[in-house]
Structure 1
Amino acid sequence: MGDFNKLEPIIAAHKFINKCFPSCDGALLAGSVVRGEATETSDLDIIVFDKKIVSSYRESIIDFDWHIEVFVHNLISYQDFFESDYKRARPSLPRMVSEGLVIKDNGVVDSIKIQAEQLLAKGPEKWSIETITTKRYFITDTLDDFIGCNERAEGIFIANALAELVSEFVLRTNNRWIGASKWIIRSLKQYDVKFTEQFIVAFDVFYKNGDKTEIIKLVDDVLYPYGGRFFNGFSLGKK
């Protein structure tokens, strides 16, 4: 981690729970430190389960020389977050619970972990034909903006939007979970490493020298099995 005076993550997590949530029913340490992907700026993601908590909350704290993100739930509230994460296809809390190392357990953690693992294994809700058609339109519209853009600054941000739309389309049409920020690439890699490499190269080439060719080809390849680009005849909300 680059800071030799810092407590080991698991030790710091135990101390934090003993100090701040000594009577909680369960606690997990999750995030990059658990996955072996920690960097100098990594924090501790700690999930707390406490039946006495009235409503769930999230808090950011610096303690024991660590930046700590703590997610506090009672023994029911986490289920609403599981359901919300399922509906948006971004299983943030289920992932954290599934991968989390047990810091404390008064007999509640195992069942919660099983629920998280079952939800992750189930995968997100399958997109309807109507949803796929709508997503094709918005990708096509953004791609047209990208192709026609002659302003470098605008092109960068259109490319960013296109990357999110295309990654979402690829993952959801293949019944995979999506992500935001760094989890976009992580989710793509979990789906298909080779495609992810093509995806990264296409956007990297544009960002480096402004060449749009690879991005355009990538988008067309992604849309082709679903009918290709779609603009003419699209309607939304018409009665």
Structure 2
Amino acid sequence: MSSFNRIDPIDAAHKFISKHFPDCDGALLAGSVVRGEETETSDLDIVVFDKNLHSSYRESLIDFGWNIEVFVHRFISYKEFFKSDYERARPSMPRMVSEGIVLKDNGIMESIKKEAKDLLAKGPEKWSTETIETKRYFISDALDDLIGSKNRAEEIFIASTLAELVSEFVLRTNDRWVGASKWIVRSLREFDMEFAECFVDAFDDFYKTGNKNKIIQLVDGILESHGGRLFDGFSLGKKT
């Protein structure tokens, strides 16, 4: 959709709530437009709270010149999403609520936003030693696959898997939230800008040139502080 057909995002969000959810108890606008990171393809992320709903739902539609993703919650259901996001260490809903611009408030938004901010500040649950060892093994396995592969098509997808595994490992072993897709690099930058640039450079160089050396050095450097690559002696599910 052309950006020339769009009205101001906050104005559009207010109009959307007035049109579709006039009786809701609270609503906010989140996402890239709030962070000042919108592009020509950005949509509006709108979160709605309504105590009279029978169930929560998500819906996508086009209105007021914008693609709109609306996340509609009861006063109980948003807590379930907060809990789920905490357990998977990907705080999508808490982040939206925390950063969101309030569009409507019948006296509930301050406490809900505080819940979100407190959860984000708390950070994800720490990985156990067993989890770290398991993740270390699978990273080592993927790295060995990449090193040994002579098939360019296979290497591309091995590297993609490795990038996701390694980014998760770095963030979780440092008690940080993780992300998917564009949020992988955003999460890495929030953690350590210099490391994030090295991470991107290593994989970018591989995709451009096929040279694996930067990836190998990067991964070995990360694993070193946890005992290095792991193969010999690793066991999963063995009963003694």
Q: TM-score, normalising length from structure 2?
A: 0.98
Any idea what SS the aligned residue of 1:80 has?
helix
- Equivalent residue runs for 1:42-57 within 5 Å: 42-57=42-57
The corresponding residue for 1:205 is 205
The corresponding residue for 1:195 is 195
- Equivalent residue runs for 1:146-225 within 5 Å: 146-225=146-225
**1:238 and 1:154 mapped to 2: Cα distance?**
31
The corresponding residue for 2:28 is 28
The corresponding residue for 1:140 is 140
Letter in 1 for 2:232: N
Letter in 1 for 2:144: D
Letter in 2 for 1:68: I
1:26-53 per-position Cα deviation (integer Å, ceiling 9, x unaligned): 0000000000000000000000000011
1:89-112 per-position Cα deviation (integer Å, ceiling 9, x unaligned): 000000000000000000111100
**2:40 and 2:33 mapped to 1: Cα distance?**
11
The corresponding residue for 2:88 is 88
**1:230 and 1:178 mapped to 2: Cα distance?**
23
Any idea what SS the aligned residue of 2:183 has?
helix
Whether 1:227 and 2:231 are equivalent positions in the alignment is no
**2:144 and 2:128 mapped to 1: Cα distance?**
24
Any idea what SS the aligned residue of 1:68 has?
strand
Q: TM-score, normalising length from structure 1?
A: 0.99
Letter in 2 for 1:90: R
**1:161 and 1:4 mapped to 2: Cα distance?**
38
Q: Identity over the aligned pairs, expressed in percent?
A: 71
Whether 1:67 and 2:104 are equivalent positions in the alignment is no
Letter in 2 for 1:230: L
**1:3 and 1:152 mapped to 2: Cα distance?**
39
| Structure 2: runs of 5+ lacking an equivalent | none
**1:171 and 1:23 mapped to 2: Cα distance?**
41
| Structure 1: runs of 5+ lacking an equivalent | none
The corresponding residue for 1:120 is 120
**1:6 and 1:192 mapped to 2: Cα distance?**
35
1:178-204 per-position Cα deviation (integer Å, ceiling 9, x unaligned): 000000000000000000010011001
**2:5 and 2:46 mapped to 1: Cα distance?**
21
**1:177 and 1:54 mapped to 2: Cα distance?**
31
Structure 1 segments, 4+ long, off by >6 Å, are none
CA offset at residue 156 of structure 1?
Answer: 0.4
Any idea what SS the aligned residue of 2:4 has?
coil
**1:3 and 1:166 mapped to 2: Cα distance?**
36
User: Aligned pair in 2 of structure 1 residues 2, 60: CA closer, same or farther (>3 Å)?
Assistant: closer
Letter in 2 for 1:23: D
Letter in 1 for 2:31: G
Any idea what SS the aligned residue of 2:41 has?
coil
Any idea what SS the aligned residue of 1:87 has?
helix
**1:61 and 1:3 mapped to 2: Cα distance?**
16
The corresponding residue for 2:3 is 3
**2:60 and 2:2 mapped to 1: Cα distance?**
22
Whether 1:15 and 2:15 are equivalent positions in the alignment is yes
The corresponding residue for 1:104 is 104
CA offset at residue 54 of structure 1?
Answer: 1.3
CA offset at residue 55 of structure 1?
Answer: 1.2
Letter in 2 for 1:148: G
1:56-89 per-position Cα deviation (integer Å, ceiling 9, x unaligned): 1100011111100000001111000000000000
1:126-148 per-position Cα deviation (integer Å, ceiling 9, x unaligned): 01111100000000001111101
**2:169 and 2:125 mapped to 1: Cα distance?**
13
Q: CA RMSD in A?
A: 0.9
